[in-house]
Amino acid sequence: MILTPDQRLRVFVSSTLGELAEERPAVSRAISALRLTPVEFNLSPGLPRLLYVKAPAPGREPRLADLLVRIQQQASYPTFRTPAELGRLVREDLAVLLSERFTASVAPPPPAPPERPVARGRCRRASRRCWAGRRRSVR
């Protein structure tokens, strides 16, 4: 995710053109519903990735099937059947991802107060007695 000039996060979307034609609008709507900006883009290193695979997909190209086998060795991904299901998954996962990112950037909470209050009254009385004794010795 990258900030745009209007300070909204852009979410890059990548898919096969033919296989997921109906799903791309559902993903764009899910991203826009979170006030983010969807942008079509290839996977890029260093950015968080959310992967989803349509199943069943009887007309899947063999090269894509091979790619999915390689990806599965490195990462897990949910499957979906309908554009609506994909939209729900994307919306939920983006909300979690954003929450985790912002939670990680928040400063740690201040230290907890001591369990027992400091007995300041007792310290003041002892201090007064000490100073009172000095006055007597000075006179």
Q: How far is Cα 36 from Cα 98, in angstroms, rounded to an integer?
A: 11
Give the start-to-end residue ranges of the domains of the chain. 2-105
Per the prediction, the chain carries an average pLDDT of 75
Token output for 136: 């007597």
How far from 27 is each of 38, 45, 62, 83, 93, CA to CA, in Å? 8, 21, 24, 8, 12
Q: How far is Cα 22 from Cα 1, in angstroms, rounded to an integer?
A: 23
Question: Binning pLDDT at 50, 70 and 90, where does residue 139 land?
Answer: very low
Phi, psi of 111, rounded to the nearest 5 degrees: -60, 150
Q: How far is Cα 42 from Cα 13, in angstroms, rounded to an integer?
A: 7
Residue 70 has pLDDT above 60, yes or no: yes
How far from 131 is each of 121, 122, 123, 139, CA to CA, in Å? 15, 14, 12, 13
Nearest C-alpha neighbor of 57 from the set 22, 90, 89: 22
Q: What's the pLDDT tens digit per position in 22-33?
A: 888 888 888 888
Strands 9-13 and 79-80, sheet pairing: unpaired
Can you give the pTM of this predicted structure? Answer: 0.57
Residue 117 has what pLDDT? 56
Residue 77 has what pLDDT? 86
